[in-house]
Amino acid sequence: MNRRTLLGVVTAFLASIGLAVAVSTPAYAWNVDRPRITDSGIDFGGEVFSLGVPVAGGHLYWRVGPPDYDIVSPELDGTLHLDGVAQHCGRMHMSFHDAGGNLLHLTHGGEVCTNDNAHHHWHVNLQPFSSEDITDVTICTELRLDVAGADWDIIGCDTMIKDLKTQ
């Protein structure tokens, strides 16, 4: 078999595999929400920070997966900003709820602290929980008012509703 014929056979084979995968896998559009939380001293959103707030929202990806494409794995990605809060610590808070409003799972991101009043920012990526029962996710910013303290205060929240679309 010459090189041109072999290339044609390989291309046809790869195309047939791609077609088989495309036919056997449902096409879901992963909805992407853009949570943005702006409060005095602590904010969540995109990386760009201007006039004391993030310019855009972060991302909450509603990932769905096999075997039946009913398992949802929300993934939060964005930037946590602390500004003008010397000797304070911040973190993200995610709570997952079902259709009845029941709490399915609660998680916190890692804590970050500042020693001065300058603007500081950290990348956030959380995907802590998967379930077919998730209908909404509440994303919050939390502050601890002193670096050595134990008490966290919820400062601001944004709730995202699951809205998966099939194509």
Q: Which has more pLDDT, 131 or 70? A: 131
132, amino acid identity: E
Mean pLDDT of 65-78: 87
SS3 assignment, position 48: coil
Question: Running DSSP on this structure, what letter comes out for residue 131?
Answer: B
Banded model confidence at residue 78, pLDDT cuts 50, 70, 90? very high
Per-residue model confidence (pLDDT) at position 16 = 44
Per-residue model confidence (pLDDT) at position 12 = 46
Give per-residue pLDDT as tens, 20-58.
333 333 344 468 999 999 999 999 999 999 999 999 999
For residue 84, pLDDT over 60 is answered with yes
SS3 assignment, position 111: coil
Q: Which of 34, 151, 160 is nearest to 95 (CA)?
A: 160
In the structure, how many helices (H) and strands (E) does the chain have? 1, 15
Joined tokens for residue 70: 């009913």
Beta strands in the chain (DSSP E): 28-29, 32-33, 37-38, 42-45, 49-50, 53-54, 59-65, 71-83, 89-97, 103-108, 112-113, 119-126, 136-144, 152-161, 165-166
**Cα–Cα dist 153/133, whole Å:** 28
CATH number of 28-166: 2.60.40
For residue 97, pLDDT over 90 is answered with yes
Banded model confidence at residue 164, pLDDT cuts 50, 70, 90? low
Q: 159 pairs with which residues across the strands? A: 138
Per-residue model confidence (pLDDT) at position 145 = 86
